[in-house]
Amino acid sequence: MEIQDWKTIGFGYRKTNLNVRCYYKNGEWGELQLSDSEYLNIHMAATSLHYGQEAFEGLKAFKGKDGKVRVFRMDENAKRMQHSSDGILMPHVPIETFKEAVKLAVKKNIEFVPPYGSGASLYIRPLLIGVGPEIGVRPSQEYLFIVFVMPVGPYFPEGFKPTDLLIMRQFDRAAPLGTGKYKVGGNYAASLTAGKKAKAEGYSAVLYLDAREKKYLDECGPANFFGIKNNTYITPKSESILPSITNKSIIQIAEDMGLKVERRQVPVEELETFEEVGACGTAAVISPIKRVYDADEDKEYLYGNEPGTWSTKLYEKLRAIQDGDAPDPYGWVTVIE
């Protein structure tokens, strides 16, 4: 594909060569297996199908100027999948198994890693599902861990161009003591209606408020939220948001660039005071926000049509580390040999 085509591929499923699978039976994990099938043959009473006993991850690999392929922070995704598994009573995929499966999936599909400078990357999707039959609500005895990959463009088609967010109080994505902090399918099913409504009205995502009081910012659809003011990077602290690995990385970069960092409750009204606002995540990278519209209050918050200075600096540094254009003092990237 030409670089121009890579810029417009969008964020969607694409078939690649092989995927990696590993079964858990009788209390233990088997060996990694390669499959060229896009389909699974699982029991119709599998717990993943009925009771949402499934967790997934999302991470990316990037091709550098030097031709090397680098995977970003896969150990963090491995740990987060274990955390999600704790939340819905699934066995841990061992960290080493997770990392080996990711490396193997990338290696076996290496020709699908988009070229350096294209703006596209290889998205890696690890998935853990309960496959054993249960008809009562209880955890499965058997599991399948799969890793598949595909080339993708930016999640928000605008890329590093500011977009709009929508606040609506009639939808919650996750309950305060529920599963919002885990990367499990149910949270995403619960977000479909609100997400569709926001997109139909021209917004890139919903900016959710805390479900208990509707007073504080939670997160933006499939990404964490941040605001910047007075040389301070501020991001919501909440029990019902996914701990974003991109956000964690940006926090580290921000501190090293001399920004102060605050992770705390962020009242909705504080939107008025931010100089820059953005959404961050593996898929979204850093997506600057130009406008937040609070539909219930009929109030809009504006941040300018161009990405802010700090958002741009953070974005460029993060992408440079991912591509291998900047040193990686934190040990975040793994080169696929």
Ligand X SMILES: Cc1ncc(COP(=O)(O)O)c(C=O)c1O
| Binding region for ligand X (CB under 6 A) | 58, 219, 222-224, 242, 244-247, 281-283
Picking from 119, 124, 147, 13, the residue whose alpha carbon sits closest to that of residue 63 is 119
Q: How far is the CB of 27 from ligand X (least distance, A)?
A: 30
Which of 24, 73 has the CB closer to ligand X? 73
Cβ contacts of residue 135 below 8 Å, gap of 6+?
A: 45, 50
Residue with tokens 């953070």: 314
Q: How far is the CB of 131 from ligand X (least distance, A)?
A: 23
Q: How far is the CB of 283 from ligand X (least distance, A)?
A: 5
Picking from 90, 253, 191, the residue whose alpha carbon sits closest to that of residue 235 is 253
- CA-CA distance, 154 to 7, in Å (whole number)? 8
Q: How far is the CB of 79 from ligand X (least distance, A)?
A: 11
Please classify residue 171 by burial: count the beta carbons closer than 10 Å to its beta carbon, then call 0-12 exposed, 13-18 middle and 19+ buried. Answer: middle
Which of 53, 240 has the CB closer to ligand X? 240
Which of 71, 131 has the CB closer to ligand X? 71
Q: How far is the CB of 58 from ligand X (least distance, A)?
A: 5
β-partners of residue 54 are 129
Q: How far is the CB of 188 from ligand X (least distance, A)?
A: 7
Decide if 265 contacts 277 (C-beta within 8 A): no
Distances (CA, A) of 149 to 13, 36, 38, 152, 204: 9, 12, 11, 9, 24
Which of 106, 279 has the CB closer to ligand X? 279
Which of 24, 98 has the CB closer to ligand X? 98
Q: How far is the CB of 122 from ligand X (least distance, A)?
A: 15
Distances (CA, A) of 164 to 108, 241, 250: 38, 20, 21
Q: How far is the CB of 123 from ligand X (least distance, A)?
A: 10
Which of 47, 244 has the CB closer to ligand X? 244
Distances (CA, A) of 275 to 24, 113, 128: 49, 36, 40
Picking from 112, 106, 127, the residue whose alpha carbon sits closest to that of residue 42 is 127
Q: How far is the CB of 205 from ligand X (least distance, A)?
A: 10
Rg (CA), the chain: 20
Which of 131, 289 has the CB closer to ligand X? 289
- Give me 172's structure tokens: 């919650």
Which of 90, 280 has the CB closer to ligand X? 280
Picking from 176, 264, 243, the residue whose alpha carbon sits closest to that of residue 214 is 176
Which of 63, 73 has the CB closer to ligand X? 73
C-alpha triplet 324, 329, 331: angle, nearest 5°: 75
